[in-house]
């Protein structure tokens, strides 16, 4: 769950609590902040599903795409920079996401047919549709 920090020290007006009540009213009850980092648009074409996944701040080398048991999992992990020794400052709070992961059900699509391209903070993934077998026409069954 996402943490929300409320700072009451800024209250100049006793009615400020009304603004805070409305802010919390419109906040989702069940919220997972990892979806902020991986907003996804999925478009269906005649032959494939085309996905655009926002992943700003990551390099191509930080991203992994894998398929297992009918699920495609996309993840990204950015290594935290090591602080230089002897620096006179310290972090009070660090909020930048260093990793995220999201899975999508794609059925039994062959991994080698999935195409992925990363450009300007957006991962483009094309998942081809599996060719459906057309039902055979009516057949007569021999009776023994």
Task: Tell me the pLDDT tens digit for each residue of 76-107.
Answer: 998 766 666 666 677 777 666 678 899 999 98
Nearest to 126 by CA among 110, 144, 143: 110
pLDDT of 143 higher than 90: no
Domain ranges of the chain: 34-82+91-128
CB 35 within 8 A of CB 74: no
Percent of residues, the chain, with pLDDT higher than 70: 62
Whether domain 34-82+91-128 has CATH 2.60.40.790: the reply is: yes
Residues 118/64, Cβ–Cβ less than 8 Å: no
pLDDT in tens, 108-138: 888 889 999 999 999 999 999 877 766 777 7
SS3 136: coil
Q: Which two tokens stand for residue 32?
A: 């997972």
CA 126 to CA 113: how far, in whole Å?
9
Average the pLDDT over 55-83 and give the result.
Answer: 87
Q: Coil, helix or strand for 99?
A: strand
Strand, coil or helix: 127: strand
């Amino acid at each position: 769950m996402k943490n929300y920090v409320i700072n009451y020290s800024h209250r100049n007006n006793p009615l400020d609590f009304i603004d805070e009540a409305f802010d919390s009213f419109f906040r989702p009850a069940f919220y997972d902040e990892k979806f902020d980092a991986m907003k996804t648009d999925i478009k269906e074409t005649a032959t494939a599903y085309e996905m655009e996944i926002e992943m700003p701040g990551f390099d191509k080398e930080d991203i992994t795409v894998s398929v297992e048991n009918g699920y495609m999992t996309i993840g990204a992990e950015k290594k935290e920079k090591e602080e230089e020794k002897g620096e006179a400052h310290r972090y009070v709070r660090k909020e930048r996401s260093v990793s995220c992961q999201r899975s999508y059900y794609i059925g039994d699509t062959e991994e080698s047919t999935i195409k992925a391209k990363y450009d300007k903070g957006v991962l483009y993934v094309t998942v081809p549709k599996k060719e459906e077998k057309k039902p055979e026409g009516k057949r007569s069954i021999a009776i023994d």
